Amino acid sequence: MPSRASSPGSALISFDSVYDAGRCISAIIAKPLIPASCELMDSVSIDAVNKSQGNPLPDCKALIIVECDGEPEQVDRDLDTVAEIAKKIGCQTITATHDKKQIAAWTSARKSVMTSLSALKPGYSSVSLADDMGVPVSKVPDAVTAYQKIAEKYRVTVATYGHASDGNLHTKMLLNPLDKDEWDRGTKAVNEIFDATIALGGTVTGEHGVGISKAPDFQKERASAISTIKAIKKAFDPNNILNPGKVEQWEGRILGKVSLRYPCKEYM
């Protein structure tokens, strides 16, 4: 029999609000407890996965999947601590396990969010207009609720999920790719999502995209540093042969005559 030391433990915790899910993540990290992973999914993400994958997740407004690793006794202590924190926050349910198949099933469900989203609405597609922001972990509750309010304001469907224990949040938007009005409302929502992220002391990118697609928002975020970035670029690349026209040099936008990601004929 293999030692349980080789098998991590994981807990799936459901909540009746995405704000409380965010509070739980912040409280876990503030304990301090550093889990192997801590994944957040809002109700849009959960509904999409359940619809396309056969209901592997509980029906709730938000959930987090916390994985702990280490020696068996340490894993058990960490899972007990996570459960204690979640109960204080006011979670709905907690399911903890050391079963590798169950952990893999939860992990697979979380990883399938992006591919599952398009199953929610016939004729709609999942698009990555704003997709990997980062905020201080203490601001995760404020960020996820802000994104929901922005989605409601512009009448667009936005799924929020991500590796939230380090404040990395993904948003995927569902749009009818042939509807100009949807694109207009969607891009306005994206602009406000980025603005809200910056206002919370975050960054428009926790992973990628500042070369072109997020360049205008990155320039806004780092307004006080752009002149320095340009000076460094000029010093090391006087002939501007390394990634010309990107980051601090970019002057375009996501949708327009120069289509970056999603061609929409109404804009061409």
Q: Is residue 45 part of a domain?
A: yes
Residue 243 inside a domain? The answer is yes
CATH code of the domain in which 33 resides: 3.30.70.2190
133 part of a folded domain: no
Per-residue confidence (pLDDT) for residue 138, from 0 to 100: 93
pLDDT at residue 185 greater than cutoff 90: yes
Q: Tell me the pLDDT band of 202, cut-offs 50, 70 and 90.
A: very high
Rounded Cα distance between 148 and 189, Å, is 10
Does 88 reside within a domain? yes
Q: Is the pLDDT of residue 81 over 70?
A: yes
Q: Looking at residue 90, what is its pLDDT? A: 96
The 3-state secondary structure of the chain reads CCCHHHCCEEEEEEECCHHHHHHHHHHHHHCCCCCCEEEEEEHHHHHHHHHHHCCCCCCCCEEEEEEECCCHHHHHHHHHHHHHHHHHHCCCEEEEECCHHHHHHHHHHHHCHHHHHHHCCCCCEEECCCCCEECCHHHHHHHHHHHHHHHHHCCCEEEEEEEHHHCEEEEEEEECCCCHHHHHHHHHHHHHHHHHHHHCCCECCCCCCCCCCCHHHHHHHCCCCHHHHHHHHHHHCCCCCCCCCCHHHCCCCCCCCCCCCCCCHHHC
Mean pLDDT for the chain? 89
Residue 197 within any structural domain of the chain: no
Q: What is the pLDDT of residue 211?
A: 83
Q: Cα–Cα distance between 31 and 28 in angstroms, integer?
A: 5
Number of domains into which the chain is organized: 2
Mean pLDDT of 118-127: 85
Domain membership of residue 78 (yes or no) is: yes
From 70, 91, 116, the end of a domain falls on 116
Domain boundary (116, 147, 162) is at 116
Q: State the helix-helix crossing angle for 140-153 and 18-30, rounded to 10 degrees.
A: 160
165 pLDDT tier (thresholds 50, 70, 90): confident
Spatial neighbors of 154 by CB under 8 A, at least 6 apart, are 185, 186, 188, 189, 192
Residue 9 domain flag = yes
Is residue 172 within 8 Å of residue 158, measured between CB atoms?
Answer: yes
* 69 within domain boundaries: yes
**Which residues share a beta bridge with 126?**
174
Residue 15 reports pLDDT greater than 80: yes
- Confidence (pTM): 0.86
> What range defines the domain where residue 43 resides?
4-116
Contacts of residue 262, defined as CB under 8 A and 6 or more positions apart, other chains included, come to 127, 129, 177, 255
Residue-wise pLDDT tens digits, 19-64: 999 999 999 999 999 999 999 999 999 999 999 989 899 999 999 9
102-116 pLDDT per residue, tens: 999 999 999 999 889
Domain boundary among the residues 116, 134, 169 is at 116
